[in-house]
């Protein structure tokens, strides 16, 4: 998986590209740790180029959501494709996250 980080005002956006599976967790964990350590309001995951995620990725997202809240940061997910949205829906995890159809909506929601 490819991960790019950008900062918009007081928000860090991590753009993910590729399948979000157990093999990608370590690199993603490093990026999110850096993002949470920064003095920002929150973190947006742009998942518009993620075609699939496995159970380990779901577990990591839940942990990241908890860590974000502990550090008074907000985690938002943008651009879920139909498959990933269905995975979150079937596992009854969709309601655990603030989700947005577009990245711009997610970033603007911090204002």
Mean pLDDT of each 10-residue bin along the chain, 111 residues long: 90 94 89 84 94 95 92 92 95 95 94 71
CATH of residue 58: 3.30.750.24
pLDDT for position 30: 87
pLDDT at res. 97: 94
Owning domain of residue 7: 2-108
How far is 78 from 65, CA to CA, in rounded Å? 14
Q: What is the pTM of this model?
A: 0.91
Average per-residue pLDDT for the chain:
92
Could you give the CA distance from residue 50 to residue 3 in angstroms, rounded to a whole number?
A: 11
Predicted pLDDT of residue 46: 97
* Domain count within the chain: 1
- Distances from the Cα of 29 to the Cαs of 5, 25, 57, 60, 111, in angstroms? 13, 6, 11, 8, 26
- As beta bridge partners, residue 3 has 16
In this predicted structure, what is the pLDDT of residue 27?
85
Q: What pLDDT score was predicted for residue 79? A: 97
- Residues 47 and 79: their CA atoms lie apart, in Å, by 5
Residues 56-85 have pLDDT tens digits of 999 999 999 999 988 888 999 999 999 999
CB atoms within 10 A of CB 74: 17
């Amino acid at each position: 998986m490819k991960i790019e980080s950008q900062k918009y005002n007081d928000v860090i956006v991590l753009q993910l590209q590729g399948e979000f599976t157990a093999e990608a967790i370590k690199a993603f964990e490093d990026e999110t740790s850096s993002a949470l350590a920064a003095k920002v309001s929150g973190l947006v995951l742009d998942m518009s180029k993620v075609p699939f995620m496995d159970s380990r990725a779901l577990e990591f997202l839940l942990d990241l959501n908890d860590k974000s809240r502990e550090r008074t940061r907000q985690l938002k997910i943008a651009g879920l494709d139909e498959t990933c949205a269905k995975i979150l829906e079937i596992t009854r995890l969709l309601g655990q996250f603030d989700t947005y159809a577009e990245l711009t909506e997610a970033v603007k929601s911090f204002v």
